[in-house]
Each structure stands twice: as structure tokens, then as C-alpha cells.
Amino acid sequence: MALSYSIRDLVFSYSDKPALTINSLDIPVSEIVALVGPNGAGKTTLLHLLAFLLTPQQGTISFLGEPVRNEYVIDYRRKVGLLPQNPYLFRSSVLDNVTVGLKLRGISRQVAREIAREALVKVGMEGFESRRADSLSGGEAQRVALARTLALNPDVLLFDEPGNHLDLENVKRTEQAILDLNRTEKKTVIFTTHNLAFAHNLTDSVIHLSQGHVVPSAS
């Protein structure tokens, strides 16, 4: 079985306070996985480790079958797309927001705009290209941020509380976008949530966290 991530004997602490201790965790390629647990359980910390924004003090992480090496962390980050709870959009057009990462990677303006338009279609935001990003609703802004991430074509998508602060309509739109990405493009999708219904609607598996440990499901 091909794995997106394989974690062994991981320990991560903030100063001297342990935040995560995970003996063994495997996440297969092309699955949708939810990280579930109360505040302080370690969900976001684990997400940031998977995005290579944090480095464990102990243990190993393998990514797409290869042990992670610190000197290649920029390369790993380019293969992962992380969407925070409250994504930041620039005060410019929707299309300009989606092209920004492509331009930073040296993609020409014309090609970047073509890729951006395709990404907006994938998240149901076609027709919004010329709208100012600061005029969007919370759900619309989240989908534009998702399009910006998709335009970079990551292997893995990480979402921090994707259904948080959204109305029911936008929760359903977000669920459908995640399912479509997984089914049509075989992306590995990992997201944190407090909402068990949201998790079970979408996932192949649910990972329960409590006080920094992976724990068995209560069900």
C-alpha cells in the first residue's frame, strides 16, 4: 500500500510542554482522512507537522515513501497545500489572488491566468474572476483560497477546520469540493474538525486525538 505519510515514534513539544506523542501512524495515498478531537488535542500541530512547517524533536516522518530530510523541506512544502481556518486574501481581484502563487514560481502571466480559471471552475467559483476578494462571503473566500492552492497542483491537501464558521450551504459546497478532488484527481486530503458528522460524511478513515495521542474511536 502506497503511503502519503508514515510516522514512527514522533514527539513534538512547545518549549518543555509535550504537544504530540505518536508511536505509529500511516496515511495512505489518495484517501480522505479526518483528524478529530477536542481543543488542545494536537490536531493543528499534527497538521503543521504534515505541512512541514514544524519539525519533530524525536521520531521520523516519511513522505510519499521517502524519509523526510530537513535540507529538502522546501521541496516537500511545494507538494503540500495547507488551507488555514481563516485564509488570507489580498485586496485585489479573485483571479489575481489565485495566480499569486503561480507567479512566485515563475509561471508566465498568461499561463497563470489559464491555470487559475481552471482551478476556480473546480471549486464552483467560475464567473467570480473580476470580483474583489474583500467583497466575498466567508464561504466564497474559502473556496477562492482552495482554488489558489489547487492551482499549485499539490499531492496532498491539508485543511484546518474547513467547515468552521460556514453556513449549511457552504459546508455542503466544501464537502463536495473535497470529494471531487479526491475522486477525480486522487488527491490525499487530510482535515481537522470537531464535527463528527462532517468527518464521517467525507472520510475513508477518522483519526481520533486526545491530549496529544492517537486514541481508539469511542464508537
CATH number at residue 28: 3.40.50.300
29-33, 134-138, 165-169, 174-178: segment of lowest average pLDDT: 165-169
Average pLDDT over residues 148-156: 93
When pLDDT is cut at 50, 70 and 90, the band that residue 119 belongs to is very high
- Same-domain status, 96 and 70: no
In a domain, 99, yes or no: yes
In a domain, 72, yes or no: yes
User: How many folded domains does the chain comprise?
Assistant: 2
- Same-domain status, 6 and 70: yes
- Same-domain status, 8 and 71: yes
- Same-domain status, 6 and 50: yes
pLDDT > 90 in the chain, percent: 68
- Same-domain status, 67 and 125: no
Residue with cell 499539490: 154
Q: What is the pLDDT of residues 197-209, one digit of tens each?
A: 778 878 889 999 9
- Same-domain status, 10 and 57: yes
**25 strand-pairing partners:** 7
pTM for this entry? 0.90
In a domain, 32, yes or no: yes
In a domain, 70, yes or no: yes
Residue 170 confidence (pLDDT) above 80: no
- Same-domain status, 148 and 52: no
- Same-domain status, 193 and 210: yes
Predicted pLDDT of residue 63:
97
In a domain, 36, yes or no: yes
When pLDDT is cut at 50, 70 and 90, the band that residue 215 belongs to is very high
Predicted pLDDT of residue 206:
92
In a domain, 175, yes or no: no
Predicted pLDDT of residue 72:
94
- Same-domain status, 60 and 9: yes
Average pLDDT over residues 136-150: 90
Tell me which of 131, 153, 175 is where a domain ends.
153
Mean residue pLDDT across the chain: 91
Q: What is the pLDDT of residues 31-75, one digit of tens each?
A: 999 999 998 999 999 999 999 999 999 999 999 999 999 999 999
What are the cell numbers at 192? 481537522
Residue 218 confidence (pLDDT) above 90: no
Q: Which residue range(s) make up the domain with 131?
A: 87-153
- Same-domain status, 92 and 109: yes
Give the separation between CA 32 and CA 17, rounded to whole angstroms. Answer: 30
- Same-domain status, 147 and 162: no
Closest CA to 201 of 216, 213, 189: 189
- Same-domain status, 44 and 1: yes
- Beta-sheet strands, E only, within the chain: 3-14, 17-28, 32-36, 58-63, 66-67, 80-83, 156-160, 188-193, 205-210, 213-215
In a domain, 176, yes or no: no
In a domain, 173, yes or no: no
Residue 144 confidence (pLDDT) above 70: yes
Residue with cell 495515498: 29
